[in-house]
Amino acid sequence: MMQGPAFVKINGVSLVYRMAEEQTLAVEDLSLDIREGEFVAVVGPSGCGKSTLMKLVTGLLNPTAGSITIGGKPVKGPVQGVGMAFQNSTLLPWRSTLDNVMLPLEIVEPHKRRLRSERKAYVDQAMALLSTVGLTEFAEKAPWQLSGGMQQRANLCRAIIHNPRLLMLDEPFAALDAFTREELWAVMQALWMEKRFTAILITHDLREAVYLADRVFVMSKRPGRVILTREVDIPRPRTLDTTFEPYFGSIVHELREHIHSVRVS
């Protein structure tokens, strides 16, 4: 297990959604620590607050109680420079694949300030990422000319082009077919092993969680809190063959049993 101080620290966080006269307690006394360079996954029953957790960590929502820090700094509003990838690729249809990947460089400092004078270096960086995910030949293609899996590969490149210290992944492979999804697990693992950013994956797919994560957090039903932290002590790089090994299957089964128990309790 990776050692070191917490890079992302969530301490006793609760969140109440208020709509008109109704109140919903989404998460309650939620606590977890994530070390820098660690890849973690968050799983749990539908409605347990997984996506709420993502919005809290990125500062899009403020907790009703408790605190969140990233790199020792309290999260008081939207966090700058975080990489994000969602279920839908959200590529801009009027931009080429390359220009889509480079979009954060036009927005995030210090890259925004340097882009004009150092454009060639940034283009080379983007092309190197596209090469890593097998999209070199599609750099000048429009998003609609790419398959769903290719679009999501480009989306992952865009999420890390600005070298974020933290990458938030909200079910980025859920809309893809099983074969493409498994291919992108390997792509995601390769990118993480090269860049070593801190990653938080929100997913319903327990095999995906065990394949990609160093640790998996299991959340209870609403109001969500962490009820299990499971280390995934399987050597990397993991492969599709790894997913058929008995120990891999035993971890998936253990997670499934915990989620089933909180759904029926």
* pLDDT tens figures, 221-248: 888 899 999 999 999 999 999 999 999 9
Q: What is the pLDDT of residues 1-52, one digit of tens each?
A: 445 678 999 999 999 988 777 888 899 999 999 999 999 999 998 888 888 9
Domain range list for the chain? 91-163
Residue 170 identity: D
Q: What is the pLDDT of residues 80-131, one digit of tens each?
A: 889 988 877 789 999 999 999 999 999 888 898 998 899 999 999 999 999 9
**Average pLDDT rounded to a whole number, residues 134-151:** 94
What is the structure's pLDDT at 174? 87
Report the predicted TM-score, pTM, of the whole model to 2 decimal places: 0.91
Provide the H-helix boundaries in 91-163. 97-101, 111-114, 119-132, 148-160
What is the structure's pLDDT at 3? 58
63 in Cβ contact with 240 (< 8 Å): no
86 in Cβ contact with 27 (< 8 Å): no
Q: Which residues pair with residue 98 across a beta bridge?
A: none
Residue 58 identity: T
Q: Which residues pair with residue 224 across a beta bridge?
A: 27
**Average pLDDT rounded to a whole number, residues 193-215:** 95
CA 185, chain centre distance (Å) = 12
How many Cα atoms sit within 13 Å of 50 on the Cβ side?
24
> Considering the chain, what percentage of its residues have pLDDT values greater than 70?
98
Tokens of 81: 């420079």
What is the structure's pLDDT at 4? 64
What is the structure's pLDDT at 1? 47
Burial 122-141 (b: 16+ CB within 10 A, else e): bbebbbebbebbebeebbee
Q: What is the pLDDT of residues 170-195, one digit of tens each?
A: 998 888 889 988 999 999 999 999 99
